């Protein structure tokens, strides 16, 4: 995999590790993404991260993006958080709270975007 999708992959992994599907129900992140019953209960943030990751991977094959590049190279923005979650050195309640806050912020942003589109129409 190209380095340009690393940030999206890590952001998706962090979101899945914080999700109730993994933390509470003890499913694997892969099961949460591939099983339709589990996938429908994922937070919107995880679904958005999954879409961004898949768009990045598709962009790697898109010939129009080959010359200028798919995306900026990895910034390492999520490396510390990913390492902490991967090592098991975290408080599950705190991680669930962080996911709820991020998910609420995403919902507010989506609502604001929809309202702006309705006002422009």
Query: Helix (H, G, I), strand (E, B), or coil: what is residue 117?
Result: helix
Is pLDDT above 60 for 1?
no
- Give residue limits of the domains in the chain: 6-120
8 Å CB contact between 8 and 52: yes
pTM check: above 0.85: no
Q: What is the DSSP string of 26-47?
A: ---HHHHHH-HHHHTTS-HHHH
Q: What is the mean pLDDT of residues 103-109?
A: 83
pLDDT at 66: 62
pLDDT band at 4 (very low <50, low <70, confident <90, very high): confident
pLDDT in tens, 20-77: 998 888 999 999 999 999 888 898 999 999 998 998 888 777 777 665 555 555 666 7
8 Å CB contact between 17 and 23: yes
């Amino acid at each position: 995999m190209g380095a340009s999708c690393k940030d999206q992959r890590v952001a998706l992994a962090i979101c899945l590790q914080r999700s109730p599907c993994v933390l509470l129900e003890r499913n694997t992140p892969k099961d949460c993404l591939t099983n339709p019953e589990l996938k429908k209960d994922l937070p919107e943030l995880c679904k958005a991260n999954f879409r961004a990751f898949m768009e990045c991977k598709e962009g790697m094959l898109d010939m129009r993006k080959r010359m200028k590049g798919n995306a900026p190279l990895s910034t390492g923005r999520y490396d510390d958080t990913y390492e902490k979650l991967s090592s098991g050195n975290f408080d599950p309640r705190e991680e669930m709270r962080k996911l709820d806050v991020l998910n609420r912020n995403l919902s507010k942003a989506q609502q604001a975007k929809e309202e702006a589109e309705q006002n422009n129409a």
